[in-house]
Structures are given as C-alpha cells and as structure tokens.
C-alpha cells in the first residue's frame, strides 16, 4: 500500500485517535492505522471506522435517544438501506425519510427495533433482523413435518 498523499511506500503501524460528534456528544477511541513516515499522513482502514461507528451506534441504542439524528446514525452504522428498514417495519420509505429528517417524530417501536438490531450486531448476532426479514418475506407453505431439537434446561 502507498500513501494516498505523497505516494510513499514507507507506511508504519500506528495508533490514532478517532473522534466523532453525534447527537451533541463527542465519542473518542484509539484505533490502528498506518502512518506515512515522510509526510505524516495517517490512513485508517475502512473496517476500523465501521467498528467505531457501530460502537457509537450501540451506545446510542443503550441510552435510548429518540432523535432523528440518532435513528439515522444507527441505521447507517449497520449499513441497512432505508428502503429495507421501511419494508421490515411495514412503513413506507417516505416515513423512514421523514423520521430521519426530523419531519415526523420517530415512533418508539421503530426506535426499539432498530436499537435491538444495532445491539445484536455489536454482539455478533442478527436474530431480530432475521425475524423481521422472515416476517416481511412472502409466506411459504409449512413443511409437513417439523423436527425440533430439545435441550434439557
């Protein structure tokens, strides 16, 4: 990899301070990066920034802010398109847009579901999102026999 600023290949591992303002709060973290020795440019991998945004979204989800900004940030942090979220919540894409642009108060049930999806994603799970997707999918005929595994409590 070469430095995007000066083109040098002299990149060394470094730790950088990440910060972002969301919902009137400043979030900070330290993360891995590459630093160009000649020019000092710091390059942070896209995945690291995604993890930072997901951690911020999880904090917002735990604290329960009801603002349009928080709703939009949480949705974007999990890379869920607005149209798909609208389909999952059984609302129009325009409704999601109005919530995110503060033209309409965000419904509590929508906030609760999105917060659950965000928190699960931060924990490596997708069960709420999977259930919502199953509910939004066209119904398929049930199998004739359903095998269930039982576990002792």
For the chain, the structural domain boundaries read 11-133
pLDDT tens digits for range 112-128: 999 999 999 999 999 99
Identify the band that residue 73 occupies on the pLDDT scale cut at 50, 70 and 90: very high
Show the beta-strand stretches assigned E in 23-85. 25-36, 42-43
Q: What is d(CA 110, CA 71) in angstroms, rounded to the nearest whole number?
A: 9
pLDDT tens digits for range 32-59: 999 999 999 999 998 999 999 999 999 9
Q: What is d(CA 141, CA 117) in angstroms, rounded to the nearest whole number?
A: 27
Token reading at 2: 């070469």
pTM given for the model:
0.84
CA angle in degrees (0–180, nearest 5) for 74-93-99: 50
């Amino acid at each position: 990899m070469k430095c995007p600023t000066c083109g040098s290949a002299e990149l060394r591992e470094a730790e950088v301070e990440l910060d972002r303002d969301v919902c009137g709060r400043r979030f900070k973290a330290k993360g891995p990066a590459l630093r160009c020795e000649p020019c000092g440019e710091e390059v942070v991998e896209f995945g690291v920034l995604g993890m930072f945004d997901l951690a911020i979204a999880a904090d917002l989800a735990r604290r329960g802010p009801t603002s349009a900004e928080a709703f939009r940030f949480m949705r974007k942090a999990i890379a869920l398109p607005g149209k798909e979220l609208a389909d999952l919540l059984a609302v129009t894409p325009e409704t999601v847009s109005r919530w995110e642009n503060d033209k309409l108060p965000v419904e509590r049930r929508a906030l609760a579901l999105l917060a659950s999806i965000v928190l699960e994603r931060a924990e490596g799970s997708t069960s709420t999102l999977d259930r919502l997707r199953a509910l939004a999918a066209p119904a398929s005929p049930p199998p004739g026999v359903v095998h269930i595994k039982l576990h002792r409590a």
